[in-house]
Amino acid sequence: MTAVLTTATTAPTSRREPVSFLAGPFAPRTWREFGYVQAFLAVMPVAFAYPLLVVALVAGLAVTVVGLYVPGWLVRGGRAFGSLYRTMSRAMLRTEVRPPAPYRPRRGFWRRLGSLLGDVPGWRALAFGLLTLPLAVVTFVVSWVFLAIALAGVTHWFWSRWLPLQQASDGTWHRGASFGDDFFIDTPVRQAGLVLVGVLFALLWPPVTRGLVHVLRLLTVNLLGPTAASARVQQLEHSRGQAVLDGDARLRRIERDLHDGTQARLVSVAMQLGEVREQLAAGGRPDEALALVDAAHDQTKEAMAELREIARGIHPPALDSGLAVALETLAARTQLPVTVDVDLPVAPSPEIETIAYFCVAELLTNVVKHAHAEGAYVLVDTAGDGPGTEPGTLRVRVRDDGRGGAGVDGPGTGLRGLAERVGTVDGHLQVNSPVGGPTIVTVWLPLETTR
């Protein structure tokens, strides 16, 4: 199974099932799309008149200034139409379109008025109503024409007996559909031919309707979803919040480690040294005082080791010698054989090196805990083969020969948190882990961070 996590995308998610040509008239997808056309046209008159009302009110109330709040609220109300269209697209077309960024009112009379009248998602939804009315009418008419011809052609042999008699130019009488003055569908051969025509139109009806509906789907995605700029802003806000949460969690972890571990050991050392002082002051036995000093010495060494571990968790000292040395040191401390291959013609920024180091540390920890692997391989180089990456992007790849089945939502892997941490610098994470292995986790990072 392969999963790619990116933090900025405006692409919709689609669950449209494929439909074969012969099964088209009977496929649920065909009838959902046909129902979408009916529902879409039902709301189009209001959706078309609504933006015209907004424009008329803007033109009429502009001189009053205060009255502009009315069309401003109507512009914001266009978001409701956009939400309705997205709901219809999700329910009937199986296409999930992300909503735009929520409206954020601004303080002050003029700024609030400007935020209302300048609400881009509202105007985009209003433009959608204006642009799609002609297309909706054409889709409705064409779809119904194809369906009507298909149904009429296939069943004409049955209901044509109740049609009124018509006289041809030669004086003969006929009962059936007529084309011109002398061609009537009233013989077995002609009835069979019309059935074939009906079958042909029935088979063509789904792809024709699907093609026209796809144009509506494209307009829905491009006008009612977030713009690239707004998606970028949302991504930056999410990344900033994730970075703050990640930093806060790290500080809390350091505080907990210092409080529960190092501080407790130092308190124990202080108490033992206090006992030594009391014994020496009271003329106690030197061997007992020496034993307390030895215990305090051992506690002090353990506290120093814990402090080194905590400091390594903040910034590994080996990184001062470069990412390659730091990863080699990390591999040597891992509980299974790890091969490290670093090929970096250009050194990343210190911030990126730190993120890359902790990514490898987290992934190797997962390998030890969950993969049941016999070894791992770490590759760090520059490549541009990742989603949304450019040539020269830092690529970090960790491969193990374990049992596989890892995923971003798997229990205990922490891969989703790792992907969110990578996303704070516009990075991407990809997991390829079929059941039975091997597991390959690739992280793409920029070589420099924006300062």
pLDDT tens per residue across span 398-451: 999 888 887 776 554 578 778 877 877 778 888 888 888 788 999 998 888 754
Q: Answer yes or no: is pLDDT of 94 > 70.
A: yes
Tokens of 379: 């590759």
Say if residue 25 is in the same domain as residue 113. yes
- H/E segment holding residue 377: strand 376-382
Residue, of 200 and 435, whose pLDDT is higher: 200
- H/E segment holding residue 70: helix 69-92
Say if residue 148 is in the same domain as residue 243. no
Q: How far apart (Å, rounded) are the C-alpha atoms in residues 233 and 89?
A: 25
Say if residue 357 is in the same domain as residue 292. no
Name every residue whose Cβ is closer than 8 Å to that of residue 11 and which is 6 or more positions away in sequence. none
Q: What is the DSSP letter of 386?
A: S
Residue 5 lies in a domain: no
Residue 7 lies in a domain: no
Give mean pLDDT, residues 262-272: 72
Say if residue 141 is in the same domain as residue 67. yes
Say if residue 368 is in the same domain as residue 331. yes
Say if residue 323 is in the same domain as residue 310. no
Say if residue 128 is in the same domain as residue 221. yes
Q: How far apart (Å, rounded) are the C-alpha atoms in residues 294 and 282?
A: 20
In tens, the pLDDT along 168-195 reads 877 788 888 888 778 888 888 989 999 9
Q: What pLDDT does 203 receive?
A: 95
Looking at residue 97, its amino acid is V
Given 263, 293, 314, which residue is the final one in a domain? 314
Tokens of 177: 């559909």
Q: What is the total count of domains within the chain?
A: 3
- H/E segment holding residue 428: strand 428-432
Per-residue pLDDT band at 273 (split at 50, 70, 90)? confident
- Full DSSP string of 266-318: HHHHHHHHHHHHHHHHTT--HHHHHHHHHHHHHHHHHHHHHHHHHHHHHS-GG
Say if residue 257 is in the same domain as residue 160. no
Residue 201 lies in a domain: yes
Phi, psi of 339 (to 5 degrees): -100, 130
Residue 127 lies in a domain: yes
In tens, the pLDDT along 6-55 reads 444 445 666 667 888 899 899 999 999 999 999 999 998 888 888 888 88
Per-residue pLDDT band at 1 (split at 50, 70, 90)? very low
Of the candidates 403, 405, 407, the residue with the CA atom closest to the CA atom of residue 429: 407
Q: What pLDDT does 8 receive?
A: 42
Residue 54 lies in a domain: yes
Q: First-to-last CA distance in the chain?
A: 36
Give mean pLDDT, residues 160-165: 86
The pairing of beta strand 166-167 with beta strand 95-96? unpaired
Residue, of 316 and 68, whose pLDDT is higher: 68
Work out whether the CA dihedral 8, 353, 385, 440 comes out positive or negative. negative
Neighbours of 183 (CB within 10 A): 13
Give mean pLDDT, residues 71-97: 90
Given 226, 261, 293, which residue is the final one in a domain? 226
Q: Answer yes or no: is pLDDT of 97 > 70.
A: yes
Burial label, 118 (beta-carbon count in 10 A; 0-12, 13-18, 19+): exposed
Helix, strand or coil, per DSSP, at residue 237: helix
Of the candidates 8, 26, 44, the residue with the CA atom closest to the CA atom of residue 216: 44
Say if residue 138 is in the same domain as residue 236. no
Whether the Cβ atoms of residue 407 and residue 433 lie closer than 8 Å to each other: yes
Residue 3 lies in a domain: no
Q: How far apart (Å, rounded) are the C-alpha atoms in residues 324 and 332?
A: 12
Q: What pLDDT does 9 receive?
A: 44
Helix, strand or coil, per DSSP, at residue 175: coil
Say if residue 199 is in the same domain as residue 241. no
Given 314, 329, 357, which residue is the final one in a domain? 314
Q: Rg for the chain (alpha carbons), in Å?
A: 35
In tens, the pLDDT along 213-261 reads 999 999 999 888 887 665 566 665 555 555 555 655 666 666 666 666 6
Say if residue 115 is in the same domain as residue 19. yes
Tokens of 196: 């074939």
| Domain containing residue 426 | 319-445
Say if residue 139 is in the same domain as residue 276. no
Q: How far apart (Å, rounded) are the C-alpha atoms in residues 51 and 408?
A: 44
| CATH code where residue 349 lies | 3.30.565.10
Q: How far apart (Å, rounded) are the C-alpha atoms in residues 433 and 427?
A: 20
Residue 286 lies in a domain: yes
Q: How far apart (Å, rounded) are the C-alpha atoms in residues 361 and 314?
A: 13
Q: Answer yes or no: is pLDDT of 298 > 80.
A: no
Q: Answer yes or no: is pLDDT of 338 > 80.
A: yes
